Amino acid sequence: MLKKVKYNNLPIGWKYTLVFMLIIILFGGSAGTVSYLIKNIGNGIHVVNTKSDEAIGITEMGSLVGAKSIYLLNYYYTGEEENVENFKAENQKFNDIKNEVEILLTTKEQRELLHEIVTSDLEINRILNFYIVPAIKNGNQTSAATYLKNADQLRLEAISKIDALKEIVNKERAQAIQHANNRQFYTFVIQIAFAVASLILGGILLFFISRNISKGLQHVVKMNDEIAKGNLSVIKIADERNDEIGFLARAANQMRDTLKTMFEQVERVSVSVSKRSEMLNGTAREVKTGTQSKLLSQWKNLLQERKCRQRKQGKYPVPCNLLQIWHKSQMKMVK
């Protein structure tokens, strides 16, 4: 009840303003959520790029291990020192890429595989520097061939572990791509959901507010119509609310009370005037009747006096039948 009273106390403009603000807040929440998800998409893309760099670096390491084996084999067959120099150059590249890849690796399994790859590569370098090169220089091809087989075995182990590490990184890369796509899809869905929810919620609130206002106005209009028809006994409308509808309701109720009071006063005055008019009419009739009777009496007296004078003077009297006729006519006039 308290919430309803507070709501009805709000001006109509404030009600629509609150709905508009709520819609803005929902859109703001949508924008914030989408921004957060976009940031996560950016992080996911960064992870994808990192995994791509890891895969590229690991692939280059495998190529460098193969290139070193080729230079090692060429040195075995030709004995040229240039192959050793090229081997060392490729080994430097291998170490540089290894350092870059090592920073990007995130799991213990990946680091262990990289450590095993590096261990195999170091063993190949040790075999070249301490066994194959001296054997070639000493012309001991048989011993050099034995060490070359050992180096080739180490190369195969390193390549196998490089492939295993690359497979793990590629799998993580695929997962990162999938996560990025999922985040992109969720971002789109959430954005649409917030927009639809904002429109639906705003529409529902506007509908109920408009219906509340329209219902209040209908009561006021209905009461005014009844008053315009002269029905001042119409029931008052509720005017507890303090918004514009409440102001109109109180004004309509006050107008109804004022008009009713005025009509009651006019009716009382009309009854009083009617009674006084009847009294005046009665008085006028009494005055008229009394006046006519007085005149008749005076006329009769005059006729009697004239008759007496005529008798004294010896003149002819006024005929009695003529006097009776005049008397009857005067009585009819009185009636």
Residue spans of the domains in the chain: they are: 2-212, 244-334
pLDDT above 90: residue 208: no
Structure pTM?
0.56
List all residues 6 or more positions away from 72 whose beta carbon is below 8 Å from its beta carbon.
83, 87, 124, 128, 132, 148, 151
For residue 288, the model assigns a pLDDT of: 64
Q: What is the mean pLDDT of residues 92-107?
A: 91
Query: 165, 57 in Cβ contact below 8 A?
Result: no
Backbone angles phi, psi at 249, to 5 degrees: -65, -45
For residue 51, the model assigns a pLDDT of: 83
pLDDT above 70: residue 130: yes
Taking CB atoms within 8 Å and a gap of at least 24, the contacts of 68-72 are 68/94, 68/121, 68/124, 68/155, 69/124, 69/151, 69/152, 69/155, 72/124, 72/128, 72/132, 72/148, 72/151
The whole-angstrom distance between residue 225's C-alpha and the CA centroid of its chain comes to 37
State how far the Cα of 99 lies from the Cα of 210, in Å rounded to an integer.
69
Q: What is the mean pLDDT of residues 35-51?
A: 78
Q: Which range, 25-39, 67-81, 197-211, is most confident?
A: 67-81
Q: What is the mean pLDDT of residues 309-318?
A: 57
Residue 324's pLDDT band (cuts 50, 70, 90): low
**Domain 2-212 coded CATH 3.40.50.10860:** no
The whole-angstrom distance between residue 270's C-alpha and the CA centroid of its chain comes to 61
